[in-house]
Structure 1
Amino acid sequence: MRAIRQYEFGPAENLLLEQVPDPEPGDGQVVIEVEAAGVHLIDTSIRSGGRTPFPLPALPMTPGREVAGRVVATGPGADPGWLGRRAVAHLGLTSGGYAERALAAATSLHEIPDHLSAPTAVAMIGTGRTAVSVLDRAALTEADTVLVTAAAGGLGTLFVQAAQRAGAYVVGVAGGPAKVEQVRRNGAGTAVDYTAADWPQRVRAELGERRLSLVIDGVGGPAGRAALELLAPGGRFVICGWSSGSATEITTADLYTRGITASSALGPAVTRPLRELEEQALREAAEGRLTPLIAEFPLADAAAAHRALEDRRTVGKVVLLP
């Protein structure tokens, strides 16, 4: 089979397409013939050998932690009833997804609903489950005015949809005119380009008498701080990452003088067991309440997918198609 292999940490060019032996399932494992493999910004940090929330994997390796496709083999201890069924799985801290076939623990499998595509399923098993956890923490209401940073990304796209569905007024912040237009098409009442130096003033002008009650921030750094400063007294600030490379600076004055509530929906702060979050994420997609935007790349172009993510040129969830 074909797979992406990495022998050294470093630039995207280290992702090499090679012919490798087909995987053999071990105890409790299945083999998935991959129709779609998810690509995440954390994958680029792992590839480069940079800072990650968990230990770096041993090399050589095949990256990729999210896969969807058809089960073509089962190992000892795995339910043979999975054979031939369409399934999606998050591979956890293991890797192997950027390939034509991948190993997964049978206990990690979810059946893909008939009308759901493999790219959609793979977007929801990882990015979708994170979105559900963040939305639990955000507790959206129709009374909210919500600002979403990175609103054209895989997570941001889902946050905008959920806020709009809840009846909230949504401000989507994204980088560049094309992304801003996509955010507007996705349902945001206001869409602003944060590459413009005066973007906070533009948000204030667009809001008029509205008071910003909630920020969902996955960018951090100066953009996250600017979003925090737009919050009305008593507002909520929900953190779901810092793609800029640094967390948003939050001071005691923000918490006590302005009465802002800051919380995280990551790591130990995840709201529910991961499998429960995965089940709900897939259900939200299957029932049409959340629809991920997909940016597709061929498996052979994994390096290009990584470069596009790192350069902030992608819209929605990046997926590789073997």
Structure 2
Amino acid sequence: MLAGRLDVKSRKFTVEDVPTPKPGPGEVLVKVQAAGVCLSDVHLIEGSLTPLYLPGGVVTLGHEVAGVVAEPGPGVTAWQPGQRVLLQAGEERGGQVWTRGVDYDGGWAEYALATESTLVAIPDDLSFEQASIIPDAVSTPWAAITTTAQTPPAVPVGVWGVGGLGAHAVQLLRLIGAAPIIAFDPLAPARERAVEFGADLALDPGDPDLRMQVGTATGGAGLARAFDFAGVPPVREQAAKFLGKDGRLTLVGLTDKPLTISDGTRFSYLGQQILGHYGSTDEHVRQLVDLVRLHRIDFARSISDVLPLAQAEQAVERLQKKEGNPIRLILRP
């Protein structure tokens, strides 16, 4: 079968033929129908992200995966060939969370192996393209909003970075009733997209009148919740400055750079918090599938383009260059 493989030591990525895996006890072989291209995949290829638990030096990328059951392994009775499924983006092994497509082979391939407990059934009217991005691209901001930040309705929120995760954050914040929703992005097309997805206001973080604009939008109270989806130190410093009393800044974008609070006294006096966030749980993914099933939310606008698996390198390059300002590019084997 064809698979997109990364040599972690050399950071060389190739699409090549590899043997089709066979499911062992408790495993299911899934015929992949769609796999998302995430910025984390780009970071892996560039070298700024390194697997923690990968037993070998080469891995098939792809942690956003949907398809149909091809072959249940020995002892698997809950899944039958032909069932439509998405795969959780990771699983717990020995007390550690292993990420699909990072610590073990993922879904940039014609077939993917999955532990049976990591499969989630999807409704017939949910496309494989939309289903594939629910783990991570949608579930990560959903978990950040609902669990880490514990965002209540009718409070002012700020979203920094309206890319693959931030665009969904705007949509999901609208769903839970946060208001006003203020998006921050230096790119005009991203700001336009933020408004289309439900932001009440979209601002350029470099605007000299930014403080006045945020103050006006929040009635002088500042932000109750702020979310960094960019993973850039200046963004975090700026977001922290706009927090109001008891405000919380949740760090979703990843960076290895230090975090600086310019006025620690004010930060402490106002009882503000900075919270780290990574990924989501199985429950967050299942909640989102239920919301889609009940027609509360739709992710059709998130699919920027669909490319054949053989063009995975071009997809990565397009995401690196933000060509066409994509939310999610999808690979189809």
TM-score of the pair, normalised by structure 2: 0.83
1:91/1:232 Cα in 2 relative to 1: closer, same or farther (>3 Å)?
Answer: closer
**Residue type of the alignment partner of 2:195:** R
Which is richer in strand?
2
Aligned partner of 2:96 in structure 1 is none
Aligned partner of 1:106 in structure 2 is 116
1:307 positional shift = 2.7
The answer to whether residue 250 in structure 2 is matched with residue 238 in structure 1 is yes
Aligned partner of 1:88 in structure 2 is 86
| Aligned alpha-carbon RMSD (Å) | 2.6
The answer to whether residue 161 in structure 2 is matched with residue 150 in structure 1 is yes
Of residues 103-112 and 122-131 in structure 1, the stretch that sits farther from structure 2 once superposed is 122-131
1:77 positional shift = 1.9
Aligned partner of 2:31 in structure 1 is 33
1:115/1:210 Cα in 2 relative to 1: closer, same or farther (>3 Å)?
Answer: farther
CA deviation map 1:31-56 (0-9, x unaligned)? 11111112222222222333447345
CA deviation map 1:261-303 (0-9, x unaligned)? 2223337xx6xxx221221122223333343312334222222
1:261/1:37 Cα in 2 relative to 1: closer, same or farther (>3 Å)?
Answer: same
**Residue type of the alignment partner of 1:223:** V
The answer to whether residue 4 in structure 2 is matched with residue 4 in structure 1 is yes
Distance of 2:80 and 2:258 partners within structure 1: 42
Structure 1 residues not aligned, in runs of 5+: none
Structure 2 residues not aligned, in runs of 5+: 91-98
Superposed, 1:239-318 pairs within 5 Å as 239-242=251-254, 246=257, 248-250=259-261, 252-266=264-278, 274-292=281-299, 293-298=302-307, 299-313=309-323, 314-318=325-329
Find runs of 4+ consecutive structure 1 residues off by over 4 angstroms: 8-11
Q: Does the 8 A contact of 1:88 with 1:112 survive in 2?
A: yes
1:254 positional shift = 4.8
The answer to whether residue 180 in structure 2 is matched with residue 169 in structure 1 is yes
Aligned partner of 2:14 in structure 1 is 16
Of residues 225-234 and 40-49 in structure 1, the stretch that sits farther from structure 2 once superposed is 40-49
1:305 positional shift = 2.5
TM-score of the pair, normalised by structure 1: 0.86
Aligned partner of 1:218 in structure 2 is 229
Aligned partner of 1:180 in structure 2 is 191
Distance of 2:213 and 2:320 partners within structure 1: 26
**Alignment equivalent of 1:115, drawn from 116, 125, 148:** 125
Distance of 1:259 and 1:50 partners within structure 2: 34
1:69/1:170 Cα in 2 relative to 1: closer, same or farther (>3 Å)?
Answer: same
Instruction: Report sequence identity in percent.
Output: 29
Equivalent position SS for 1:304? helix
Distance of 2:89 and 2:269 partners within structure 1: 44
CA deviation map 1:168-208 (0-9, x unaligned)? 111111241111111111111111234x4637347437627
Which is richer in helix?
1
1:108 positional shift = 0.8
**Alignment equivalent of 1:65, drawn from 63, 74, 82:** 63
Q: Does the 8 A contact of 1:179 with 1:315 survive in 2?
A: no
